[in-house]
A and B are shown apart, each in its own frame.
Chain A
């Protein structure tokens, strides 16, 4: 055991002595969590609209006022009919409401962002449809029969709730994978790996000795992030702190195992860093469900998402933290992550042994 302990000691010293990198590893996740947690949102907060109305009647002016009184809409002014295309194309407005002489209305929208366009259309339609200059006595306002909508869990649509699990999933796996893979590969590159391997300590133990300090560092990161998520970003920790910590620790172990695996496929630091930091970034953002809902992906690609560890972690964290469910609801995610971790470790060790022979 002393052999193992001395290796852990050596690794820890390496880390502690490189103050800059240590700082980066501890501070960056915090900064990014705060930035993204507060800044990222998918709410459509503002739609710029212009109006083209050759006959500016009182009714039309009223409707324009009604729309612009909504905080989500900004009135950009009246434009002439032949300017509509330029208005949309240049991005000055997202929508143009064109009133024609025969009281028909055309809502022209910049649909490059389809979601924004649809939300804008929905709202504009409901206002424009219920306000009509030719109302007869038997008609009533449409708004009286429109349902009442309540948003649950996230009534202010505070997307931070949605994104914090995603950010956690992204940051943990990449930082851990980068740290571990580059640390092992650096020894290969500088030749000190051979020195380690001739020591009486078994190679497996050497590798695990390397993981221990990084695991500790990651735990420190985890603690900081959970603390910030709860108290600064106000993400509810509706009850299940133990579960959150448990599954997070498993996820960290998985990330370290991934780093280990990456280190077995290359002997150059640059390659290890490119794989863990650059190549993995996009798949995790795109396939983990952190931004793009998995349910909507084409059936052919869904299997691809199953192999992205972040997908399972993010799903579990959302259930535990945001929906406040008990641990039994995330047993599936837990077992998948556990299996993945064991598989990665086994594969990495096999590669490592093969390379040594």
Chain B
């Protein structure tokens, strides 16, 4: 125990004497939390529409006006022909093309509707899908109105929609917990790994290996400071989320910190395993970078896991952050109870245990 305290004392002194690290650990989370929530919008505004009106009738004019009136769409200069509209789409000036067929008004009056066509540029898949969906709804509504005036009514059941947990549909709220997780992944993953390999490279680790210090104690002393840092960063991030974005956890803070603790345990365990198998900081960094990239892009932080092919989804069961993502978002946004998330907690704990065990085992004092 005394040995652990003495080692921790050393680690903290070294950390605070470093010219770069303490500043980075403070500034980086601040910058991330203050800037990136604003950039993570998947909100679709200003979909550029180009309408190809082959009918030039009052009916088609009505439809065009409805689109023009919508805040959601930006009507760009309507093209005369489809091919011209297509050119604009290729240039990136137009997102969705609407083609009103010839005899649109006539067919309307005959009660034999000819369909309007919508073409969406899906290079940006979200804009394409959501934009075309909205366009479809708008067009349908507009046409239904026209029919109503002719005495044809489309009845529909009274359907209302209730958006829960994020009634303002603010994508930012969905991403803020994700950003917190990314911070923990990086700080608890990269930093301990680099720290350990650095001692290896400089040679001071040999001085420790020759002492009776037990490898578990040594490993623990290397990890504890970064767990503390992880909590610190999480706390700072949560305070910023509250003060700047008005987002407070709907669920228990204890549940959040428990999840964070397990996530920190897993990431740092992985970091140690990588460090134990690397000889230079460059190697350690590249390998950790490889893992962190995979975790950040495939744990459901930025794109949903359910959107992945099933082989990939199966793979994610091995990623500790995956569980933490579920826990964070559920507790933060929905107020989900710890008991309702027990599968996530147990899985995360299991992975943490495995990784930390491997971390301690792979550290060789004697080769």
- A–B direct touch, CB within 8 Å, in complex? yes
Is B36 a contact partner of A286 (Cβ separation < 8 A)? yes
Flag the segment in B52-60, B212-220, B290-298, B353-361 that touches A: B290-298
Is B122 a contact partner of A278 (Cβ separation < 8 A)? no
**Contact A279-B304, Cβ < 8 Å, known A112-B334, A149-B120:** no
Which residues of B in the span 297-329 have a Cβ within 8 Å of any Cβ on A? 297-298, 302-304, 306-309, 312, 315, 326, 329
The answer to the question of A210 belonging to the interface, with a C-beta cut-off of 8 Å to chain B, is no
8 Å CB contact of B161 from A107, A119, A182, A266? A107
Is A117 a contact partner of B163 (Cβ separation < 8 A)? yes
The answer to the question of A196 belonging to the interface, with a C-beta cut-off of 8 Å to chain B, is no
Is B312 a contact partner of A38 (Cβ separation < 8 A)? yes
A115 to B45, CA, bound (A): 13
A90 to B144, CA, bound (A): 39
Q: Return chain A residues, CB-CB under 8 Å to B315.
A: 39
Is A161 a contact partner of B90 (Cβ separation < 8 A)? no
Chain B residue total in the interface (Cβ 8 A) = 110
List the B residue with the shortest CB-CB distance to A170. Answer: B293
A162 to B144, CA, bound (A): 35
Is A39 a contact partner of B298 (Cβ separation < 8 A)? yes
8 Å CB contact of A122 from B137, B198, B296? B137
Which residues of B in the span 98-134 have a Cβ within 8 Å of any Cβ on A? 98, 113, 115-130, 132-133
**Contact A105-B157, Cβ < 8 Å, known A274-B24, A282-B32, A291-B302:** yes
Q: Return chain B residues, CB-CB under 8 Å to A135.
A: 155
A308 to B197, CA, bound (A): 31
The answer to the question of A69 belonging to the interface, with a C-beta cut-off of 8 Å to chain B, is no
The secondary-structure label for the interface of chain B is: helix
Q: Return chain A residues, CB-CB under 8 Å to B225.
A: none
**Contact A110-B165, Cβ < 8 Å, known A90-B336, A119-B129:** yes
Which residues of B in the span 143-202 have a Cβ within 8 Å of any Cβ on A? 143-144, 147, 151-167, 169-171, 173-174, 182, 186, 190-191, 194, 198, 201
The minimal Cβ–Cβ distance linking B334 to chain A, given in whole angstroms, is 5
The answer to the question of B333 belonging to the interface, with a C-beta cut-off of 8 Å to chain A, is yes
Q: Return chain A residues, CB-CB under 8 Å to B133.
A: 119, 122
The answer to the question of B70 belonging to the interface, with a C-beta cut-off of 8 Å to chain A, is no
Q: Can you spell out 11 A-B residue pairs with CB atoms less than 8 angstroms apart?
A: A35-B298, A90-B336, A90-B337, A90-B340, A108-B164, A111-B163, A125-B161, A134-B157, A149-B120, A270-B194, A278-B292
- Given contacts A42-B307, A44-B304, A277-B190, 7 further A-B pairs with CB under 8 A are A118-B130, A139-B152, A151-B128, A154-B122, A157-B129, A291-B303, A295-B46
Binding site for A on B (CB under 8 A): 20, 24, 28, 32, 35-36, 38-46, 89-92, 98, 113, 115-130, 132-133, 135-137, 139-140, 143-144, 147, 151-167, 169-171, 173-174, 182, 186, 190-191, 194, 198, 201, 280-283, 285-287, 289-290, 292-294, 296-298, 302-304, 306-309, 312, 315, 326, 329-330, 333-337, 340-341
